[in-house]
Structures are given as C-alpha cells and as structure tokens.
Chain A
Amino acid sequence: MNSGAKRWLLVAVAAAMAVSYFSAQFNRYYLGIAIDIGINIILAVSLNLINGHTGQFSLGHAGFMAVGGYTAAKFTLELQTISPPWAQPLLFLVALLLGGLLAAVAGLAVGVPTLRLRGDYLAIVTLGFGEIIRVFFQTTEAFGAATGLTGIPHWTTFAWAWSFAALTVFVVGCLVSSTYGRGFIAVHDDEVAAGAMGINPVRYKVTAFVIGAFFAGIAGGLYAHHKQFLSPGGFDFMKSIDIVVMVILGGMGRTAGVIVAAVLLTLLPEVLRGFADSRMIIYSLLIIVLMIARPQGLFTFGRKAAGKA
C-alpha cells in the first residue's frame, strides 16, 4: 500500500504543478477558491488525525493555524527585502516549515499538560488555549496587534497549496495505516484497553496533537501568503468550529469523507453568497440536524459505527 500511496502523492504534486503552470489562464476568483479548498483540506485532514483517528476533541485548531501563519508571514516580511528574487521559493518553503514547527511546538506545549483531560474538558481547554494565542497576537505590537499584518507577498500558488494538501493526506494516511498508527485508533476506541495492551495513550495523544498542529501551522502560512493579510479576528473560535464541522460532516476518522466535506464547506459560502444573512443560520441548523440524524458523518457507510467519546 505504501509504495502505491507514494506514487499517488507524486502524481498529485505533479498534477498540482501542471495546473498551477496554466493558472494564469484561469479566472482569478475561481483560482482563489481552489487555493482556499487546498488550505482547508490541510486543516481538516490534520484535525481529523486529532479529533477523528485519535478521538480527542480539540477546539483550538485555529490557534495553531495562527501561530504558523503569523510566524511565516513575519519571516517573509523581514527577509524578503534582503533575499535575492531567485531564492523566493526557498524562502517561502523555509517560512512555511518554520511556521509549522513553531505550531508543533505550541501543540506540544498545549498537549503535554492538557491531554490528561478528556472529552468536554479537553474541548474547553483547547478552546481556551486558542483564545489565549489569539489574545497574544492581538496585543503584541511586533505582530501588528489588533490591526494585523499587511503587505504579505502573494506567494501561495495552486501548486503550493495542493502539494501540501497531498502531502498532508499522504502523511496522515500512512501514519494511521502503519503499525505505529494503529495505536491512534486503539486510543480512540478504548483508552483503558489500549493502555492495558501496552500502548501509552498520552504519548499517542501528544503525537497526534503535535503532527496535527504542524500541518495546521503550514496551512496558516499558506493562508497568510494567499490572503496577504492577517488579523487576529480571523483566527477566533469560529474558525476552529469551521474546521471541526468539516471533520464531523466528513465522518470522524474518514480521510476521504473529510476531504469531500472540506471541498463542500468551502464552496457552500460561495454558493450561498446571495443569502449572506441566513447563510450562517442554515449552517448552524445543518450541524444540529446532522448530529441528531447522522452523527457518524454524511459520507460514512458501513464498517465502523459512530465512535464513542
């Protein structure tokens, strides 16, 4: 399976680059949405590792995204003037990885003390951490405080966004289907039983958190260089909820379903643009009805029943 997956990854990256090569031909509005979709796939698939496969409930994904986004943006803003133009892709790559790494460090800092908690406690603490991260950026002058960062170069192309989306799907997919990764699912299914089988639940939970946060950080960097503007308000509680809904809609722990949900939920606001007022009402009703009628997700069929918390 592994070599097959690797081949798919290469094909996806090549396809993304090919499409990106012709991107000048496309309508800029549609291209922008396509990049949004790529970024949202990264966010949803990485959160799915934490919330779906490992069964922890994190409401702080936007916080990790903010860490990655601000780090990457600050890095390029500081260095773009002194670096030669040919080094730009390299600079961008380093910025993204740096953002991802710092987000992973934040994930570790959040994960180690809090993952002893379960279910709704964990949800509220991750929410709290997300808010603290947001307040930090909102009050730090170096990150533009409440006005945010502006003038970030527009470096995120279709190729960048979708290559990283493919990479995220690849890494999470391989990780979960590896021998090591079975541990995530074991922790999800029954923490006590997993512990009795010699799996250290805390270790797996922290691993899931750190990897999830890393990709959220990358997505944040891509987002920053796509919108060219970052404000702390964009990373509030609502953003985390958006990502959580993608995971739920797709079915917790179902990568394919989560990707479809990320695509649909990115397109939905654009389609409903005419009903801007009632858009969010429909969205919230969708969550309630979905939870009552189909808690296992829209695109989940057969095999595994809805996971228990």
Chain B
Amino acid sequence: MTEVFQQLINGLALGAIYGLIALGYTMVYGVLRFINFAHGDVFMLGAFAGYYFAPLVNRFLPAQSYFGGALVLVLAMVVCALIGMLIEFLAYRPLRNRPKLTVLITAIGVSLFIEYTCQHAAVFGAAPRKFPDLIPATTWHIGGLVIASSQVIVLVTTLILLIALRFIVQKTKVGTAMRAVSFNEQAAVLMGVNINRIISFTFGLGSALAAAGGILYAMNYSSIEPLMGVQTGLKAFVAAVVGGIGNLPGAALGGLILGIVETFAGGIPGLSNYRDGIAFAILILILLFRPSGLLGKPQVEKV
C-alpha cells in the first residue's frame, strides 16, 4: 500500500510538470490553432537558463535557499517568455494566414533549429550536465513514504502558477482578450482587440510556464541536456490532447493523469520497458473514443 502512495506522489510530481508544459500547448492552440512543436525546446531552454542563472544569483544570495531558487525560477521564466515571443515574431507571424500545414512544418523546423543549435559545441554541447541544487535538499519520511523537498516544491510551485494563470486568464483585461481571440478571432478584431499583441502575450505566457516546468524537471532529475525537451514535450502535448486541447483545466488534468499512469507503468516489471510508448497509446485511445478530450467540448463541423 505504501508503494502505491509512493508511486502516486512521484507520479503527481511528474504530472505537474507535464501539466505546466501542456498549458503552453493548449494556450497556443487556443489562439492560433496549431501545434507549437518548438514548445518542448523552450522547456529545455528554461532548464538551461536556470543552470546559468543559478551561479549568478548565488553571488548575492546564499546558495540553496528557497528565495534564491524562486529568483532563478522567475529569471528563467522571463528569459523564456522573451524567447517564446521572439520565435512567434520571427517564424510564425510571417505565416499567420497560410495553410495550417505550412505552419506545422515551420514549427518542426524551429524545433530542430533550437535542438541542433544548442547541441553545437559553441552553445551548450550535446553532453548531459548536472543541474545545481537550487534549494536545500531534504527528504521527509512519513510512515513508509519518502518525500523529497523538490517534489513538494514542484507541487507547490505548480499550484501557485496555476492560480496565477487562472487569475490572468479570467480576471485581467488581457486574459479576457485572449479568451475572445480563442473564441472568435474575427469578432475579437472587430471589438478592437490587437491580435498581434495578444498572440505574442500568449506565447510569452506559455513559454514562461514551460520554463518553470523545465526548472522543476531539472530539480527532480538533476541532469539536463539539449534533447531533454523532445520526449517530454511530446508527452506534454499528449497530455494537452487528453485533457481537451484549448481547455486550460484539461491540460493540467491531462498532465496529472499522464504522469501518474506513466509512473505506475514504470513500476510494473513487464511494462516498464514500454514506458515511453504508453503516452502515445493513451493518445490514440483518447482520439478514437473521445477526440475532443476529457474536458473538451465536441465541435460540430460546418461547411
């Protein structure tokens, strides 16, 4: 029984990270209706931003403090938000009214470009690196359970970010505009919404969440490399589809489900080898039986 709870905690921590990345996919899909393949790479850049900011922050703040860790997190989020907006401006904006497939292929191109540039010896290099400890590493033993402080941080940070996101999307003016663009782009333009600004903001917001996910992931798994975003990004996308793409609570829910299922499957001897395939099997099942996802509304196609 303790093992079940232990796996549940591990799964929740992994699922929270998937959820953070999935939110970016879902938001971009909401306003632009395409899959931003490069999102997983922004997640990777977030982890690397944390890697480079940690020593800088340690100069004037004690190493491994909660405050210092939070500062690194915020800095990485800001940098990645800017990178996300830059990607949108350079690669996707020129293609705004082109066929969806063209944009999709461009997104794959952007993703490859980031991956290979970062693998180049002059940038990060292909070898994995050890991520510095941002917070004091402690483990708590409750009953038979082992809970690492980083796991608690993952859950707490995710919760804070989700509440902040909900506030931005539901209560602020820019959030209202985002929902308007997602609901009906043309009508939003007629109401005086500046589409370019909103799309740019959406990319920034999604990329910041991905960066947070990247740092939280790096804190838990302690090793980072330029290709870490490929598999994780794909799985987070699966999470977004499972929850219903375009639906914010759905993305978080899908992330949690995926993280928990994957962790449990990893603990079952016969299945552990298939761990990487499970996310895609879930994706296919969901698309077959409930194409609009768990929380998504089915769309009627009009001609």
Contacts and interface: CB of A to CB of B under 8 A. Distances in A.
A113 B284 contact: yes
Interface stretch (A41-49, A72-80, A93-101, A123-131): A123-131
B34 A306 contact: no
A144 interface: no
Contacts of A288: 91, 106, 109-110, 113
Interface string B104-121: 111011101101110011
Nearest to A146: B273
A260 B297 CA distance: 45
A270 interface: no
Given A120-B100, A127-B234, A291 B241 contact: no
Interface string A279-296: 011011111100110010
Contact of B101 (A57, A117, A128, A278): A57
A124 B274 contact: no
Interface in B277-299: 277, 279-281, 283-284, 287-288, 291
A120 B120 contact: no
B102 A129 contact: no
B163 interface: no
B120 A139 contact: no
Contacts of A241: 108, 112
B152 interface: no
A77 B104 CA distance: 40
A308 B99 CA distance: 5
A291 B287 contact: no
Given A132-B277, A136-B277, A292-B94, A124 B100 contact: no
Contact of A125 (B99, B105, B116, B283): B283
B303 interface: yes
Task: Give the size category of A's interface with B.
Answer: 35 or more
Contacts of A278: 120
B283 A124 contact: yes
Given A132-B280, A287-B109, A308-B99, A113 B104 contact: no
A307 interface: yes
B277 A131 contact: yes
Interface residues of B, number: 42
B273 to A, nearest CB: 4
Contacts of B280: 128-129, 131-132
B3 interface: no
Which one of B94, B116, B117 has the highest number of Cβ atoms from chain A below 10 Å of its Cβ? B116
A119 B281 contact: no
B95 interface: yes
B264 interface: no
A26 interface: no
Contact of B288 (A113, A139, A291, A307): A113
A176 to B, nearest CB: 19
A55 to B, nearest CB: 8
Contact of B106 (A57, A292, A309): A292
Interface in B30-77: 34-35
B287 A284 contact: no
Interface in A217-245: 237, 241, 244
Contacts of B279: 128
Nearest to B277: A135
Interface of A: 57, 113-114, 116-117, 119-121, 123-125, 127-129, 131-132, 135-136, 138-139, 192, 237, 241, 244, 248, 277-278, 280-281, 283-288, 291-292, 295, 306-309
Given A129-B280, A277-B121, 8 more contacts: A119-B104, A125-B284, A128-B284, A135-B274, A192-B303, A291-B95, A291-B102, A291-B106
7 contacts: A113-B284, A120-B100, A124-B35, A128-B283, A131-B277, A277-B121, A284-B113
Interface of B: 34-35, 91, 94-95, 98-106, 108-110, 112-113, 115-117, 120-121, 230, 234, 237-238, 241, 273-274, 276-277, 279-281, 283-284, 287-288, 291, 303
